[in-house]
Amino acid sequence: MQAMTGPLRSHLDPEFVLLLDDVRARLTTLFQAPPDHFTFALSGTGTTGMDAAAANLLEPGMMVLCVVNGYFGDRLAQVCALHGAFVERLEGEWGQAIDPAQVERVMSDGRFDVVAIVHGETSTGVINPVGEVAAIARQHDALLIVDAVTSLGAVPVDVAAWNADACYSCSQKGIGAPSGLAPITFSARLRHRRAGTPPFSLDVKKLEDFWVRRRYHHTISAPMIYALHAALTEAAEEGLEARWKRHADAHSALVAGLDAIGLCLLPALAHRLHSLNAVCVPDGVDASEVKDCMLTRHQIEIGAGLGPLAGKIWRIGLMGSGATIHNAEKVVTALAKSLGRTPLSR
C-alpha cells in the first residue's frame, strides 16, 4: 500500500521502464522460468492470464487435452474451446489429484497438440502432479499450458523443469500484491511458432515489444506495478525455499487446529495445496451461516464451495503475507466459536 502512493509515472518514463525490467527479472525467478522465456505481468486478473495463454498458443482445429478436476479446470477447458480448439476433457473427481496414468492412456495415440492443466485447483484445495503430466506431454511433443494462479509464490512452481509453454498466475494470492495484474511466462518455442490472431490487448509479440523494446502498446498502471514490485522484493528477501516452508508451516498449523475441533480437509494428505485449504462442512451444519458468522462476528472472510462442492466445503486461503501460524490459529479459534465447539482432548 505504501509503494502504491509513489509518484505516478508515464508507462514509458525512463525510470519506470527500468522498474519493468526488474519486475520481469524477479518474476522469472519466481516462476523458475528459463532465461529465453518472456516473463512479464499482464494488465488484468488471473482469468486474463488464462485467456492470454490460450489466445497466443491455440489456433482453430488444434486438439487440446484439458484436465478437469475442479471449477478452474472447467473454466480452462471452456476458454480453450472459445479460441477454436477441439477440447477433450479428462474428467477427474473434485477433491482428488489427477492420476498421470489417466493422462498417459488418453495421450497414447498421439493426437493431442496441447495439454492444459491447473496446478493448484482453487475450488478444491488440490495440487495436481504437473511435473509428471508435463513429462508425458513432452513424450508426445505436445505444448503445455499451466494455471498457477493459486500456487505461484506459495508452493514450488518450476516452469523450466516442466518445459511449460505458457504458465500464468495472479498478483493477489501467493505473491501478496493487490489484484489487477496477471504474471505470465511464454516459452521461446511458443513465440517462434505462434500462429492465429490473438486479440490486440493480449498479443504476446506486441506485449514483448512494449516490455522489452519500449514500444507503446497500452497504458499500464504505475501504482499496480509499484505494488507488484514491492511484493516481489519481499519474496526475494525472504527466499523461495523459506517462503514455501512458511506456507507449509501455516498449512500444517491450520490442519492440526482443525483436527483438534473435529474438522478435516477434503483432499488426501499427499495432494493438499498449502495455500488453499478445503475444509469439509460437518453433517447438519449450514455452511453459509458459519461463513457469515466468521465475517460478521470475527472479521474473517472464508470462501464457499463452488459447483458440486457448494455447501459441502469452506475454502480457507493462507497466502502471501497472510500465511502465518498466528493467522491459522485465529481462523481455527473463530471457526470453533462459530460452530460452538471446543478443542478435542488428546
CB 304 within 8 A of CB 122: no
**Contact yes or no for 344/303 (Cβ under 8 A):** no
Within-domain flag for 344: no
Residue type (1 letter), 302: I
Domain count, the chain: 2
Whether residue 323 is found in the same domain as residue 259: yes
pLDDT confidence of residue 113: 97
Buried b (16+ CB within 10 A) or exposed e, 175-214: bbbeebbbbbbbbeebbeebeeebeebbbbebbbebbeee
Indicate whether 159 and 97 sit together in one domain. yes
Model confidence at 195, in pLDDT bands (50, 70, 90)? low
Query: Given a cut of 60, is residue 346 above it in pLDDT?
Result: no
C-alpha cell at 82: 472459445
Residue percentage of the chain with pLDDT more than 70: 98
Q: Are residues 87 and 177 in the same domain?
A: yes
| Region for 2 from its dihedrals, namely left if φ exceeds 0, alpha if ψ lies in -120 to 50, beta otherwise | alpha
Last residue of a domain, one of 213, 238, 263: 238
pLDDT at position 344 is 56
- Alpha-carbon torsion (118, 72, 143, 102), positive or negative: positive
Residues 168 and 246 in one domain: no
Specify the pLDDT at position 341. 81
Task: Report pLDDT digits (tens) over 253-301.
Answer: 999 999 999 999 999 999 999 999 999 999 999 999 999 999 999 999 9
Residue 346 lies in a domain: no
What is the amino acid identity at position 157?
V
Query: Is position 3 within any domain?
Result: no
Across residues 112-123, what is the average pLDDT? 98
Domain match, 123 and 30 both? yes
Residue 232 belongs to a domain: yes
In this structure, are 13 and 157 located in the same domain? yes
Using 50, 70 and 90 to split pLDDT, how confident is the model at 194?
low
Work out the mean pLDDT of the chain and round it to a whole number: 96
Q: What per-residue confidence (pLDDT) applies to 192?
A: 85
- Residue with more model confidence, 73 or 342: 73
CATH code at 260? 3.90.1150.10
Torsion of CA 192, 193, 195, 200, to 10 degrees: -30
Q: Which long-range contacts (CB under 8 A, 24 or more apart) does 82-90 make?
A: 82/54, 83/54, 83/55, 83/58, 83/59, 83/196, 84/58, 84/59, 84/60, 84/196, 85/54, 85/58, 85/59, 85/60, 85/61, 85/114, 86/61, 86/62, 88/63, 88/64, 88/112, 90/65, 90/66
- Measured from the Cβ of residue 268, the count of other Cβ atoms closer than 10 Å reads 11
The span from the CA of 263 to the CA of 331, in Å, is: 13
CA distances in angstroms from 36 to 2, 31, 53, 165, 276, listed in the order given? 33, 13, 17, 11, 31
The verdict on 248 and 198 lying in the same domain is no
**Residue corresponding to grid cell 504474471:** 183
Query: Does position 184 have pLDDT exceeding 70, yes or no?
Result: yes
Q: Are 281 and 184 part of one and the same domain?
A: no
223 and 264 housed in the same domain: no
Of the candidates 180, 208, 238, which is a domain's last residue? 238
Q: Is residue 289 part of a domain?
A: yes
Q: Do the Cβ atoms of 151 and 174 come closer than 8 Å?
A: yes
* Amino acid residing at 2: Q
Residue 191 lies in a domain: yes
b/e string for 154-166 if b means 16 or more Cβ within 10 A?
bbebebeebbbbb
Asked whether the CA dihedral 89, 92, 97, 101 is positive or negative, the reply is: negative
Within 10 angstroms of residue 108's Cβ, the number of other Cβ atoms is: 11
CATH number at residue 155: 3.40.640.10
Question: For 320-331, what is the mean pLDDT?
Answer: 97
| Displacement of CA 310 from its chain's centroid (Å) | 21
Q: How many CA atoms lie within 13 A of 198 on its CB side?
A: 23
* DSSP string for residues in 262-312: T--BSS-GGGB-TTEEEEEPPTT--HHHHHHHHHHHH----EEP-GGGTTT
The CA-atom distances, in angstroms, between 156 and each of 1, 13, 43, 162 are 26, 34, 24, 12
- Domain with 87 in it: 8-238
What integer is the mean pLDDT of 14-38? 97
Q: Residue 345's pLDDT is what? A: 41
Domain boundary among 238, 256, 274: 238
- Residue 25 located in a structural domain: yes
Residue 82 pLDDT > 60:
yes
